[in-house]
Amino acid sequence: MTDDIAVAVATVADPGASMDALRASMRAWLQANEGALQPYRHEHPGGMTESCAHFRPLQRLLHDAGWTRLGWPVECGGLGGSAVLRAEAMEELAAAGYVIPELQGTIEIIAPMLIRYAPALAAHHVGRSIACDENWCQGFSEPDAGSDLGSLRTRAVACEGPEGDGFRITGQKMWSSYATVAQHCCMLVRTGEAGSGYRGLTMLWVDLDSPGITIRPTDCESGREEVAELFFDDVFVPRDRLIGPEGAGWEVVMFLMQYERGAYAWKRQAELHTQLHELVHDAPAEALAGGPSAAANLSALGNAYLALFALRSQASPTLAALDAGRALGPGISVDKLLLSAAEQTVTDTARQLLWPALEMDDTPAAARWRRRWSFSRITTIYGGAAEVQRDLVAERLLGLPRGR
């Protein structure tokens, strides 16, 4: 662990606690640490690097107290117990008005895959990531392969040489979230013949400081380097960095997607509930009572709350199912659709209640809501586009005939 953060707290999280006891002890801890937690009331307005640096002490505080170690195996730096305990603790953090560190979302998505398909890598990396000593990203999408990952072209050719047994990667990834602050990337590559579709894919764990890798941040409307392109020029990756067997990449990425569409949805619903409360506070008094739009605004708030309620109702059994090791199948697309609906309903409501401040003002609150509104537009794209999720629900869940 690094020693540059002046935080020393005892582990208080109990992996054997009941949900009620866990929530009570988290609330007590939040109260006891109110002073240290004050800087984390809102998202950081700066770039990705500054934002991650800002939230790092919070990640360490949560780690050292044990809250983010709950539910991860002891051999991976966790405390054991149920992952639902960790989810409940994060919901308490958000309910108390604090931000859940955004890199926590990446851990929730990638760590289960490492634990299931690459236990030796998990034993080395999961503990370091929850202690905030390293960050990860995902490299699946390519310029001509997003919704259809089966057509991806980044090649990994098996090789043996002085550096050992492994693969040489050549190609390009794009839209990789957090790549500018990550040290490792889980990458889907083609090890089969060109045209081998889903069958010829393999998942690898790649050190981003390997020779031959170029990371180019993508200009985003938000101004933060949220995503990046990754270029691979004959990059060597040792064979012991395989995540799952060679050729099993599709199974591995589908396993990960359950967490990207499910566990991540739980984190966001917790944050969005807090933001909705914040909106009631930020809205001018006449927007909610007495003003000409008050009735319409209250109705919009009600709809936003309903969208969040629906999301939470879906995400809660999903968490339990993932924790029990049950495969979720196409039903997980419902979580993703409810997530994008809730995210956009909450921020559209903010736009309505804060009009015209959200567009025009320079106050920190207006700027914050502007950023949130912008971010909400991409929720129908990342983690699988909404149109594709709707097709999956229609065809594979409801058994409707194919549209095309």
Ligand X SMILES: Cc1cc2nc3c(=O)[nH]c(=O)nc-3n(C[C@H](O)[C@H](O)[C@H](O)COP(=O)(O)OP(=O)(O)OC[C@H]3O[C@@H](n4cnc5c(N)ncnc54)[C@H](O)[C@@H]3O)c2cc1C
**Which amino acids are annotated catalytic?**
260
Tell me whether strands 164-177 and 184-190 are parallel, antiparallel or unpaired. unpaired
Residue 68 or 340: the one with the smaller Cβ distance to ligand X is 340
Asked if residues 158 and 147 have their Cβ atoms less than 8 Å apart, the reply is: no
- Name the residue among 139, 113, 112, 105 with its Cα closest to residue 237: 139
- Name every residue whose Cβ is closer than 8 Å to that of residue 150 and which is 6 or more positions away in sequence: 197, 198, 201, 250
Minimum CB distance to ligand X, residue 403 (Å): 8
Q: Judged by CB under 6 A, which of 25, 68, 82, 138 binds ligand X?
A: 138
Q: Judged by CB under 6 A, which of 59, 141, 269, 314 binds ligand X?
A: 141
Q: From the centroid of its chain, how far is CA 265? A: 8
Minimum CB distance to ligand X, residue 101 (Å): 17
Which span sits near ligand X by CB under 6 A: 11-19, 127-135, 138-146, 274-282?
A: 138-146
Site string for ligand X, 225-264 (x = CB under 6 A): -xx-------------------------------------
Q: Any contact of residue 105 with ligand X (CB under 6 A)?
A: no
Asked if residues 322 and 314 have their Cβ atoms less than 8 Å apart, the reply is: no
Q: Which residue is nearest to ligand X (CB)?
A: 146
Q: Any contact of residue 175 with ligand X (CB under 6 A)?
A: yes
Burial (CB < 10 A; 0-12, 13-18, 19+), residue 343, is buried
Q: Judged by CB under 6 A, which of 296, 324, 387, 400 binds ligand X?
A: 387
- State how far the Cα of 95 lies from the Cα of 263, in Å rounded to an integer: 17
Minimum CB distance to ligand X, residue 95 (Å): 26
Minimum CB distance to ligand X, residue 361 (Å): 25
Residue 35 or 403: the one with the smaller Cβ distance to ligand X is 403
Minimum CB distance to ligand X, residue 246 (Å): 20
- State how far the Cα of 316 lies from the Cα of 28, in Å rounded to an integer: 23
Q: Any contact of residue 294 with ligand X (CB under 6 A)?
A: no
Q: Any contact of residue 171 with ligand X (CB under 6 A)?
A: no
Asked if residues 206 and 179 have their Cβ atoms less than 8 Å apart, the reply is: no
**Measured distance between the N- and C-terminal CA atoms of the chain, rounded to whole angstroms:** 53
| Three-class secondary structure of residue 338 per DSSP | helix
Binding residues (CB under 6 A) for ligand X: these are 137-141, 146-147, 175-177, 226-227, 378, 381-382, 384-385, 387-388, 391
